[in-house]
Amino acid sequence: MIRQLIAVNLRLEGFVVTTARDGEECLRLVHEVRPDLVTLDVVMPHLDGIGTAARLRADPRTKGLKILMISACAQDEDFSRARAVGVDGYLTKPFHPEQLIRLVRALSPELSPE
């Protein structure tokens, strides 16, 4: 599953990673874990990535959280919808792990692996 692939690659680079199964779980966990960056997919169960990103941006506690969309949805409309809700970066599948790491570091240069 792509979620595990993302987590493994970030962990291999020394980042602390917490995963969520869907958008609803992400919204619950984000207040417990207080991450520096969240990765979402446009297509997720229960609450899609666009809806999740919109709710993160609407919440004063998470409005400044960095959001990286990682998705196979690669049409101009997908990029526009993501930008409209405040997504900070967009990576299309398939991707090479180095692309993921580069983009995470570019979005959050203050993040330093443990």
Q: Tell me the pLDDT tens digit for each residue of 32-69.
A: 999 999 999 999 989 999 999 999 999 999 999 999 99
Say how far apart CA 12 and CA 100 lie, in whole Å: 12
* Distance between CA atoms of residues 3 and 19, nearest Å: 7
Task: Quote the pTM value.
Answer: 0.91
pLDDT tens, residue by residue, 62-112: 999 999 999 999 999 999 999 999 999 999 999 999 999 999 999 988 765
Which of 79, 71, 64, 70 lies closest to 30 in space, CA to CA?
64
Amino acid at 16: V
Question: Which of the 8 DSSP states describes residue 1?
Answer: -
Name 40's bridge partners.
Answer: 69
At the topology level, CATH places domain 2-101 in Rossmann fold (3.40.50)
